[in-house]
Structure 1
């Protein structure tokens, strides 16, 4: 159990230091990952920035992710779920365009320049506050993998065992402090898991 996101970030940072982990850039997935990513970036003496993706909700059930799309428009689809629900191509393209625009607008709120920073040849660590379905993590990883980074790792305090296992094929390394079998939601492993506002998240980016 983590006290809050900052505590989770400090524990994650300590584990990465123990492993001798090195990174040039840490990318948090806003908004909730920024309090986790700040201690990680500080511990690794790395720049902190963001990578943004939005989940694509199923027709009539926006909380059920049938995929996710990154701020550059690249998308990951849960093909098994899409087939099971019978979602048609027209809906998929409509929701992809809508959420890609939302992701791009969100990224613009956090960055002075459009798009990801130059990651060519860099060792990149993506941080989230936890992984449930892994949809947004996949979309973020794939966007960063296309950036010519030297290496791309995903690090989280807690995640669903199945999702963490699935994500191992998307990154050079995946590190999760806890993968409990009783996982139901990320928030169940935090004593305090309130909403992080845009203003609060941006403060973590601005903090040196």
Structure 2
């Protein structure tokens, strides 16, 4: 197992301008994977997709999405009590149910609500497009940051079930303790910024607005288009800015 969050460091310790900048910086730490046959980058919607887009472009890799949903605490949705992913995968934090008074019934209610949202996003982002084949491929899972790690852990377990050749977890910033736990699940963990006093992902971005569905759809459309169409879309975006 190779761990890169300790040796691939950011020269700019203040963090990142935005998710696109973070993706370009992250791609520099993943250059050793460029040229892998059938390399696949999977972004975790929504915030992970702009990062993954830049990584896939830099590495010349195929881009797709892997849908997971955080299970927020009933009275504090920002704090993850677990996560769900495709194929019925559910990961719960240690002590759940029971932690902070959370009941099994509440866990099931939150799971049902987030499963409905997962299915909505799958229809919205993918339409009739089939999911990519994972078996035998080198897969890079990308998010915009890793805090509790619940969503990434669910994603890892979804991908592990598909008999991939190699599984890499990558994020621009993460909590050191969480990254260390993910080492036990992935073949490689790549994270250029792992501050010892990590508090929240957003504190390491100067611009960290919410990524909306339209942006995810736009980036996927570019990635799934041919080279000529993709260049045209990028030129149009430049004209608008």
> TM-score normalized by structure 2?
0.80
Task: Write 1 or 2 for the structure with the bigger share of strand.
Answer: 1
Q: Which residue of structure 1 aligns with residue 151 of structure 2? A: 136
Aligned pair 1:4/2:18, yes or no?
Answer: yes
The counterpart of 2:203, out of the listed 185, 188, 191, is: 188
Structure 2 unaligned blocks of 5 or more: 1-14, 223-229, 231-241
Look up the match of 1:83. 98
1:119 aligns to what SS in structure 2?
coil
Deviation at 1:20, TM superposition (A): 4.5
State the Cα distance separating 1:103 from its structure 2 match: 1.2
Aligned CA-pair RMSD: 1.8
CA distance in 2, matches of 1:115, 1:20: 25
1:22-37 to 2 correspondence within 5 Å? 22=36, 24-37=39-52
C-alpha displacement of 1:57: 1.8
Instruction: Extract unaligned runs of 5+ from structure 1.
Output: none
Q: Is the Cα–Cα contact under 8 Å of residues 168 and 174 in structure 1 kept in the other structure? A: yes
1:194 is paired with a residue of what secondary structure?
A: coil
Partners of 1:162 and 1:138 in 2: how far apart?
13
Distance in structure 2 (CA, Å) of the matches to 1:63 and 1:100: 17
For residues 128-160 of structure 1, give each alpha carbon's deviation from its aligned partner in whole angstroms, at most 9, with x where no partner exists: 011111111111111111112111111111001
Q: Distance in 2 between matches of 1:65 and 1:120?
A: 30
3-state secondary structure, aligned to 1:174: strand
Cα distance in structure 2, aligned partners of 1:100 and 1:182: 33
CA distance 1:67–1:20, change in 2 (3 Å): closer
Aligned length: 207
Query: Which of these residues, 161, 168, 185, is aligned with residue 146 of structure 1?
Result: 161
User: Contact 1:25 / 1:125 at 8 angstroms: preserved in 2?
Assistant: yes
Q: Equivalents in 1 of 2:89, 2:24: separation in Å?
A: 31
Instruction: Please give the alpha-carbon distance, in whole angstroms, between the structure 2 residues aligned to 1:150 and 1:163.
Output: 23
Structure 1 or 2, whichever has the larger Rg, is 2
Deviates more, 1:53-62 or 1:86-95: 86-95
Q: 2: CA distance between counterparts of 1:107 and 1:177?
A: 30
What's the CA shift for 1:201?
A: 1.4
Task: Provide runs of 4+ in structure 1 moved above 4 Å.
Answer: none
Please, what TM-score do these two structures have when normalized by structure 1?
A: 0.92
